[in-house]
Every structure is written in structure tokens, then in C-alpha cells.
A and B are shown apart, each in its own frame.
Chain A
Amino acid sequence: MTSILLVAERDEQGEINQSTLQAIAAANGLLDAVVTVAISGEAPASASALAVEKIVTLAVVSIADEGIYDQATAEISALVESTSPEVVIFSKSDFGSIVGARLAFRSDSAFAADCIEISNDGGDGVSVTRPVYGGSALAEFEIASKPAIVTLRAGSYEAGNETGSPSIEAFDSGASVEQAASVTGTVAEARDGVRLEDANFVVSGGRGLGGPEPFSVLTDLANALGGAVGASRAACDAGWIDHSHQVGLTGKSVSPDVYIAVGISGASQHMAGCSSSRAIVAINKDADSNIFKEARFGIVGDWEKVLPSFLATVRELKA
């Protein structure tokens, strides 16, 4: 038996989110897996059909904890201590990255971030594969100590459609943390249209755009397709577009049907955020650019000459 604790996260509607469903598929893929899902607050109705053994509800993590996660870390540490799982799985989200890393030190255990594969069929312990050097290389690690704490990259596993009938129980950690740092406010970037992470079409611009103005052409194209605008870090760092549009290892992960990269060289750290797109389309004037090694369709050319006719034709097709 391999006991796995999986820490669930919710989407904006309060439902178990997609990354968690993918993580459940990853967990169920382990040999002799017995999966417990931990969720903060009352479990949503849909949770009672998850293909897992048990659901543990944690005391409601207060809103003020958001972003600091002291209370969440304390509660999950207590749960790990009392149930001694062999593997603890988080999504590679803001929450999972922080709580997972901290938990590893509290429980003196191994931590592997941003894994794309996890298995336990190679003998003792767990092995994981994770992209390193920005995705230029893959590393396989073996973890002998228990628990092995991992965060999973979104899109690495496909959510399954199996169902189950888990038992549901509450866990009272008894933890109540006096948080030293306090969140005093939130400032949200205005967004119009679809969320970048959810978009079926993403039009991203990079340093090759040369300035902020061309992003309005990308916005027109994104609007025509019903999609969202993304960007490389170089374009964001230059101040041409807000960082909330950054796609990549340290930005957002997207997996649209079509990802159109305009004036982006295709650095591994950028591709880390979009390589699970169904089709990547590259427009770049340098035929040797790495983006053409990742793309399904491409045009070697100047975006200024390519985009207007592309946009016009898309509009005609959509009309």
C-alpha cells in the first residue's frame, strides 16, 4: 500500500480545480495507491464522487492567510504528522509551492518542485522527473525518505474520468497560528475578456515587437479569436505590458488550442508555460530561432508585414 495525501485546491466557483483533478490521476497511477484528499473548508458536493479513498476537510483557512499560508502550513503539517503518508502531492500553484516547500522542512523530508512525472515502480521509494535549467534539461530523482513532498506541473497528467465514493471526515489540527505578517489589501489588475489561463486562443508578444504599441494589434487578434493576450518576460520586464500577462516558468501556464508566439525566441523558460498547447504557431524573422523547434506552424518573417493580413483573414473566416 502506498498512502498518498493530496492537497486539493479550488477554482473560482469553489469546485475542486483542474490541477487537483490532474494530480488525482497522477496519484492513482502509483502502484498500490491509497489516496486521501485534503481540502480546506466544507468539501463541494462533487467531491463525493472523486476516485479516491478518503476526503479530509481541514478547518477553514482564513482569508487573511491567503498568500502567507502560515495557518495552512500548520494544519497540513499536523495532518501529515498524524497520518504519515508516504507521498504528499500539491499542485505547483502559489499555495502548493509555498506550503509544500515549508512542509518539507517541518517534516524533515524531501521536496521536489514542479514535477512532470511521478512513479513508484522502481523499487524502494518514489522517483520523479522535473524540468531543470529552465526546461533545457530533465532530471530524474529518487526519493528514499518519507514522505516525499512534490508539486506537480499543470498539464503533466490528464484528469481521469473514473469516479469513486470516498469517505469524508473532518480533521481538527488544533493549530491556530498567530500570523506575524499580515495582508492589508489586494490590488487587482483590470482584466477584460477571458482569463489568460482559461483561453482557447492565446496571442503572445515578445521583445521582437519592439515596444508597447504593437500589443494593440495582438489584442485585436486575440479579440477576433475570442482569446487572450500573453507575453514573454522580456516584453513584461521592458514595461510594454503588465506582468500579469507573462507566460512561462515564472509566469502563467497556458494550454490553449492555439498559441501564437509573435517575436518570441522560444527560450525554454518561456516554453515551460505554453508547451502543452495543442498547436503552437510562430511568427519570427529569424529562421534559426528556437521557437521553430517547438511550433507546429510557422512563418519566417517580420510580424509587421505578416500580422495585418493574418488578422484580416481571421476576421473574414470568423464573420
Chain B
Amino acid sequence: MGIGITELTVRIVVLAKQVPDPETPPSQFKIDESTNTVIPPNGVPPVVNGFDLTAVEAALLLRDSGADVEITVMSVGSDFVMDAMKKPLAMGADRLVLVDDSGLDNIDSAVTVRVLAAAIEKDGPYDLILGGRQASDWDQAHVTLGLSEVLGLPLVSLVQKLELNGDSVSLQRVIPDGYQTITAPLPSVLTITNELGEPRYPNLRGIMQASRKKPEIFSLADLGISSDDLVPKLELKKLYIPESNKQVELIEGEDEADSGKKLALRLREEKLI
């Protein structure tokens, strides 16, 4: 137990993944087809997956509401860029635990889940596991869901609001035309969606504190896992940028109002309206 952690502290693990910045303009998004990898655009550093930052925000909102929480951010990967990975700490998370191993270079979601589960079990007791609804690189939306299976914990996905009530948590889960209210026990695994609200910006104090904190690092060996055991189930054969041969027909009138009128007439001509 860390300093200031008591029996009553709710220990929250937030899963976070380092990804290429999804705001990279399409013109700068390039792929090396000989290695089937994305070429990091010059000068655009990686970021923590956006939905994972929303999950950090969810944990911080619990703290804001008066709950005694300890927030541990956990990530599995290699080539971590600390400026990016420390953002959750700067927002207010307490600890950063990285499983950092070159054997984790090229893994699929099934392998990620195995390693995360081992790291979570090793790191100690927990009450709640939060993850983003999906990662913006492979868009599989698999890891957090799979973790609930491997750890044998209840799962609620697409959570937009949460509230701690003793040993349970009250949730709002987004559905296509509204939301469900759900009660789940602790510990549970939750995926968090952007409907929760924007992740907060780190303030100066947070950034200073984060810069002094050191991540705790596990290797695969620390977890008793050999990289030979980590056989991906999906074998990537080809990664490429789809070609678009669409040709837009620009409607140009005498002025913008005239263009609007011509557009409607053109759509009628095409029997589209």
C-alpha cells in the first residue's frame, strides 16, 4: 500500500495506450508498405489515446466528487515517449506503471490483454478498472472487454457517467438513443466513452508534479512471461492507404446564394431529391 492509502481508498487502474496522433492531417499520414507500419510524421509526437484520457478524467471526477481514490495508469508497449505518457500524471493521476519490453513491439489485442492482466495482478489490489472505448490506431475495441473475461470481472461498456456508492458503482451506459442506468459491483471493468466530457488540461502544478514522478516499469520477465509465448492471433498481411477516385463536382453560381440554388436544382436533375 502506498503512502496515504487506506482500507477505504478506492484503487482505480486506468488503461492507457500510446498511439500516433489521430489529428495528423491525412496528407501527412503515410505507410511503409514494406514493413506494414505507419511512418510517424515528422515532428508529430505520439499521444495517449484520446478515450484513455477520458477514462483518466472519469477517475479524476470521482476524486473531485469527494471519493478517496488512488489512480494508477497502466500501459503495455515499447518505445514509450515519456512526454506523452506522463500526461495522465499531469492531469492528476497518482502512478504510472509501464510494461515496457521490446518483445511487445508488434502485438495484437489478445496478447495485450494477457500482459495487462498479468501486470494488474502483480501490481496489487484494485477496485475498478477503466479503459477507453477503443484505441485510435487499430480501432479494435477489444482490450478492455477482453480484460474483463481474463480477470473474470463484470463488464460495463460505453460508460458516460459514474458514481461510487460504497462497494458498488452507479453508471450511465450510452445506447444509440439515450442511456441505460446500471449498478455494478466493485471490482468491475468499465469502458469509458467521450460522452463523459473532455479530459481536463493539465495545469502548471500538475505538469511540475508529473515531471518529478518516475514511472514504475515491468519487463515481460518480471511478469513471468516469455515473448515466445506471445503469439498474435491476427497476422497482419498488408497495410495500405485506400485509394479514392471520387471526383467532386463543384457547383459555382454567381455568388454563394446562387450556388445554393443551383445545388438544389442539380440534385433534382440527378433525381436525388
Contact = CB atoms under 8 A, between A and B. Distances in A.
Contacts, number: 246
Q: What does DSSP make chain A's interface, helix, strand, loop or mixed? A: mixed
Given A139-B239, A296-B246, A317-B268, A181 B136 contact: no
Given A139-B236, A186-B178, A297-B251, A134 B157 contact: no
Contacts of A314: 264, 273
A149 B259 CA distance: 49
Interface in A287-319: 290, 292-302, 305-314, 317-318
Contact of B256 (A109, A142, A302): A302
Given A244-B177, A293-B248, A131 B139 contact: yes
Interface in B76-125: 109-110, 113
Given A133-B139, A201-B273, A297 B22 contact: no
Interface stretch (B60-68, B193-201, B212-220): B193-201
B188 A181 contact: yes
Interface stretch (B2-10, B148-156, B203-211): B148-156
Contact of B238 (A101, A139, A244): A139
Contact of A101 (B36, B146, B237, B258): B146
Contact of A317 (B157, B241, B264): B264
Given A67-B180, A250-B194, A294-B244, A113 B142 contact: yes
A185 B181 contact: yes
A182 B168 CA distance: 11
A249 interface: yes
B230 interface: no
A288 B151 CA distance: 48
Interface stretch (A2-10, A39-47, A205-213, A278-286): A278-286
A141 B236 CA distance: 4
A132 B139 contact: yes
Interface residues on A, range: 35 or more
B233 A299 contact: no
A252 interface: yes
Contacts of B134: 250
A297 B142 contact: no
Interface residues of B, number: 80
Nearest to B20: A133
Contacts of B183: 181-182, 184
Contacts of B45: none
A144 B263 CA distance: 50
Nearest to B169: A181
Interface in A59-95: 66-68, 70, 94
Contact of B140 (A113, A127, A179, A237): A113
B155 A249 contact: no
Contacts of A282: 248
Contact of A281 (B31, B139, B246, B267): B267
Quick one: which of A109, A145, A290, A297 has the most chain B CB within 10 A?
A297
Nearest to A129: B238
Contact of B255 (A70, A305, A312): A305
Nearest to A116: B242
Nearest to B257: A309
A257 B255 CA distance: 27
Nearest to B249: A297
Contacts of B272: 257-258, 278-279
A307 B139 contact: no
Contact of B146 (A105, A184, A298): A105
Contact of A137 (B31, B113, B133, B177): B31
Given A132-B239, A258-B267, A182 B260 contact: no
Contacts of B179: 186-187
B256 A298 contact: no
Contacts of B237: 127, 140-142
Given A111-B110, A139-B239, 9 more contacts: A105-B110, A111-B109, A114-B139, A132-B137, A140-B237, A184-B181, A243-B174, A292-B248, A314-B264
7 contacts: A66-B180, A109-B233, A130-B139, A136-B241, A181-B185, A191-B177, A306-B260
Interface of A: 66-68, 70, 94, 97-98, 101-102, 104-106, 109-114, 127, 130-134, 136-145, 179-189, 191, 197, 201, 225, 233, 237, 243-244, 249-250, 252, 257-258, 268-269, 278-279, 281-282, 290, 292-302, 305-314, 317-318
